[in-house]
Each structure stands twice: as C-alpha cells, then as structure tokens.
Amino acid sequence: MAHEPIVIAGGGIGGLGAALALGRAGHPVRLFERAEEFREIGAGIQLGPNIWAMFDRLGVQDAMAAQAAFPTALVMRCAVHGHEVTRVPLDGMRERYGEPYAVIHRGDMLQVLLEACRATPGVTLETGHTVTGYVQDAGGVTVQLEEAVPAARGAALIGCDGLWSKVRAQLVGDGPPAVSGHIAYRAVLPMAAVPEGIPRDVVQLWAGPRLHLVHYPLRRGELMNLVAVFHSSHYHEGWDEAGDTALLWRHFEGTRPEVRALLERIETWRFWVLCDREPKRGWTQGRVALLGDAAHPMLQYLAQGANMALEDAVCLADQIGAQGGDIAAALPAYEAHRVLRAGRVQITARIFGDIYHAGGVRAELRDQWLADRDPVTAREAMAWLYETPRWPGAPG
C-alpha cells in the first residue's frame, strides 16, 4: 500500500471516480481541481448498464438510483419525415445485462461521487489548484501546481484533466484534440413546458441529414434534457459558450414541426464544439497515467464518455491491487486492459454519428436496416459494450 498519496489532476466524473475507487482500496489520495468548486456543466448524462456495475463497486449504486430517471425505451425517429425508425424497450436491459439503462443530471451524479469521496478516509480534495506539469523519478512523482503553490509529492499522478489535459500534453505530446465539425447545443426545459405530443418517458433521438436532436427526462421527470447537434465549420474552438440561436434555427429549418416546437421553447442554449481523438496507446509512463477524456476523448454518440471514465477508475484500483500495490507495474496493466475497449467506443461513436446524420439514400438504407431488427437483436448488438467488463483483480 502506498504511503505517499496518489495525486489526481482534475475533479470531474473521472477524477472523483478515481479518487473514490483508490480511496476505497485503502490508498491515500490527493486530488487537485482547477475550478474553485466541483461542478459539472451541461445537464444530462445517459448511464448504460455497464456503468451500474461500476457504481456498485464504488458503493454508490443506491445513491445514483435515487437520483436517476429510468426511461422506458430508446426511440429513433426521422427528423424530416417523422416516422419511427427503431425502438428498443429498456425493460429487457436488466434481464439481459443484470443492470438498467438510466439517465441522470450531471450535477446529481457529481454530487453523489463527491459525497462518497468526502466520506472515504484518506481522500483529500483541493479546489482552486491547477496542475501544470510533473517530474518523475524512480520513487515517485513531483506534481507542479500554479506559481507560488508548493509542488505536491506523490507515489503516482493520474491525469483526469479532461479533453485539454495538461498531463497528456506532457506525457503524450500529441497536440490538441481533433475538432469533429459537429456542434452540440444543450439546454433543459421544465417538463411542464414540453409541447403536447412529445413523449416524456423515453430517450428520443430525431435523426436528420447532418443533424440530430436528443431529448430525455431528468430529475424524476421534472425536467427535459435537450441536446441538438449539427455539422458546422462555423466555430473552430470553444467550450460552454452561449449558443447563437439563429444559427441553430438555420440548421433545423427543414425538420418536423415537433422538433422545431421543442427547440423554440428554449431561450438560452450553451454550445460545445465536439472533439475526440484517434485511439492511441501510451497513456502511461512510469508512475503517470491518463484516465477518462484525458486518455480517450470520444464523441458522445454512444453516450459513454463518463461510463468509460468510471470503468477506468475501477480498473485502475483493481490493477494496483492485483500487482500487490506495485504502482509502476499496475499502470501498464491498467492501460492494457482499457485501451482496446475505450478505443472501440471512440471509433464506434464516430460511426454512430454517421448513422444518425445520414441523408438521402443513406438514410433510407439506415431505416431499412434498423427496421429489420427486433428488440432482442438490437440489445444483443450492444453486448460488447453493455456487459460488465472483466479484468484481473475484480471480485468474482
């Protein structure tokens, strides 16, 4: 067991998940978050069956379930003609994978992780500190913080500092992430303001040429989460900016009245320029490793970025256990167990984006292909992702 703490850069879902997994395994942890307080921007997050097993390992399954909403189906409709393309009932998920499919408010998810970290002995959380770099030697890592703050010494450094990771910049040095040319506008609507005819208890995706809209309930059905995505080269860089509504309207002009009725209820949007990276090995070096978006940023079309970050967190703690506390041996094992799975999600997410955003004959072919699938086939197609991943050191 390490005496020096494991230092974590970043306190998003990945960083707090890692702090919790490591703390519960008995490792002292020191987490530095750049922001003055822990917070998540944007409203909703989908929770595949695979994340529920991780919640169980982190001891937060009941607390998450109390905050989550459990939609009845995943539905895809054509955003131009309105027909239902496919529907996957979600009641079978529990039967098939032993865990549900759910949605949750990001703030609620972060709060559950935060409270669990605070209740775990040995986990120290420090906000208002930016990790700027590190120097490692055979015995540990010296983690540099912003000017005038003494460096922190640790047994290891885990870079959970997201898409624009400073730890990745030093460790991998592969430049900024890839701008996809897709932009997401996000907003929430009180459920009472949702127009008639829009189902309130499903995750519904309206697919159209070079665009889509997803909506689903949040906070026990009090809110509706909306994410509108379209292709544009208009913005090259940006994060959590106020969205230009006129631009959104131009892109959604040709869509169904139901889609536009939903969009027009929103006054303020936040926009995200969606980025990812090509999957790549080399997330670990000596006593430094990357986790979550810092390691494998992905487009959100499989709704798995946070799911993967928590799988990473649990796997990392398990590998340190499996290696008898030898962190230098555990980090390459962690990467080896994660890289192909996360890489498959990175690549498949791009393909799902192409499927959602198809137009013309491509869209007709998509509809024909998806219409031929029954719910069992549709659920089975996701078994590679939704089954609980296995690695050494995991119980059972």
Ligand X SMILES: Cc1cc2nc3c(=O)[nH]c(=O)nc-3n(C[C@H](O)[C@H](O)[C@H](O)COP(=O)(O)OP(=O)(O)OC[C@H]3O[C@@H](n4cnc5c(N)ncnc54)[C@H](O)[C@@H]3O)c2cc1C
Residues at the interface with ligand X (CB under 6 A): 9-15, 32-35, 45-46, 130-131, 160-163, 166, 184, 186, 227, 272, 292-294, 300, 303-307, 309
Of the two residues 5 and 162, which places its CB atom closer to ligand X in the complex? 162
**From the CB of 164, what's the least distance to ligand X, in Å?**
7
Residue type, 339: V
Of the two residues 144 and 323, which places its CB atom closer to ligand X in the complex? 144
Residue whose beta carbon is closest to ligand X: 305
Of the two residues 25 and 303, which places its CB atom closer to ligand X in the complex? 303
**From the CB of 50, what's the least distance to ligand X, in Å?**
10
Catalytically active residues are 216
- Distance from the Cα of residue 296 to its chain's centroid: 10
Distance CA 352, CA 366 (A): 11
CA triple 112-386-12, angle to 5 deg: 30
Of the two residues 285 and 328, which places its CB atom closer to ligand X in the complex? 285
Distance CA 141, CA 156 (A): 6
Of the two residues 306 and 331, which places its CB atom closer to ligand X in the complex? 306
- Is the CB of residue 161 less than 8 Å from the CB of residue 18? no
**From the CB of 213, what's the least distance to ligand X, in Å?**
12
Distance CA 55, CA 40 (A): 18
Query: What does the CA dihedral 254, 256, 259, 260 come to, rounded to 10 degrees?
Result: 60
Distance CA 113, CA 37 (A): 14
- Distance from the Cα of residue 250 to its chain's centroid: 29
**From the CB of 37, what's the least distance to ligand X, in Å?**
10
Give every CB contact of residue 196 below 8 A, 6+ residues apart in sequence.
none
**From the CB of 110, what's the least distance to ligand X, in Å?**
9
Distance CA 236, CA 33 (A): 26
**From the CB of 81, what's the least distance to ligand X, in Å?**
25
Residue type, 255: T
Both structure tokens of 375: 């719910």
Any idea how long the chain is? 396
Of the two residues 12 and 367, which places its CB atom closer to ligand X in the complex? 12
What letter would DSSP give residue 281? S
- Is the CB of residue 237 less than 8 Å from the CB of residue 108? no
